[in-house]
Structure formats: C-alpha cells, structure tokens
C-alpha cells in the first residue's frame, strides 16, 4: 500500500486551470491524499488497468485536514456515479471543498496515473 501525495503539474506560466496528479504507479489498496478544490473539475485516468479495476472520485465538504472528513462518490452531469475501468476523462458535477481518487476495486497489478484538472477562478 502506498500513500500518494498529490503533485501539481507545471503548465508553463498558466495559473488557471491547474493540474494535480497522483502516480504513475497507483494500484488497488493505495491511499490518495485529498486536495482542496476549485469551482470546476475533471478527472483523467491513464495506465495499466486490471480486469476488475474501478476508479471513483470522492468529495467532501466537512473535512478540515487531509486525514479527516466524510467522503462520498461524485457523479457526472447525468447523475451517474463516476466509475472508470479504462483510460478516460470524466467531468464531475458536484463542487466540493476536497476531492480525491479512490481505486474501489482491482487486483493490485494496476499501474495508474490519475490527473485532476481544476479551474480555480469564476471568470
């Protein structure tokens, strides 16, 4: 089990949007440290998936640190819980204060990179 600390990607001199990444190398059983979010976000998953891999995005409004709070699965614009078992990009509907990926199933052989894109301003 690995505890993943999010890594902010540098995108030239661009301040908004912001990209945050966990991985590469994430697998089932790993724990992902959450991040404080902006007003809009999408998530991208890439890498090697097992036949049972499922990635969800969880959010919380009551966490006060990276280790507490109640997290719940977020949904897409059609109110479907986001479940990703292959490489893809998905938009989340809910705007939560905290967000983190959760690999809810798999066999531990995955090698995944999970990237969240955040828009922080209200332009």
The full set of domain ranges for the chain reads 3-119
Domain covering 3-119, topology: Jelly Rolls (2.60.120)
User: What's the confidence (pLDDT) of residue 10?
Assistant: 66
Q: Tell me the two tokens of residue 60.
A: 């919380």
User: What's the confidence (pLDDT) of residue 1?
Assistant: 84
Within 8 A by CB and 6+ apart from 49, the residues are: 85, 86, 87, 106, 110, 112
Q: What is the mean pLDDT of each run of 10 residues along the chain (123 residues)?
A: 88 72 96 86 95 96 91 96 97 92 96 90 58
Q: Give CA–CA dist 62/11, Å, rounded.
A: 30
């Amino acid at each position: 089990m690995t505890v993943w600390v999010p890594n902010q990607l540098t995108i030239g001199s661009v301040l908004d949007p912001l990209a945050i990444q966990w991985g590469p190398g994430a697998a089932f059983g790993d724990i992902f440290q959450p991040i404080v979010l902006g007003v809009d976000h999408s998530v991208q998953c890439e890498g090697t998936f097992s036949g049972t891999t499922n990635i969800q995005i969880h959010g919380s409004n009551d966490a006060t640190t990276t280790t507490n709070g109640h997290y719940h699965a977020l949904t897409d614009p059609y109110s479907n819980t986001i479940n990703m078992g292959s490489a893809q990009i998905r938009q989340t509907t809910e705007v939560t204060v905290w967000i983190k990926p959760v690999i809810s199933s798999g066999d531990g052989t995955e090698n995944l990179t999970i990237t969240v894109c955040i828009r922080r301003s209200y332009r």
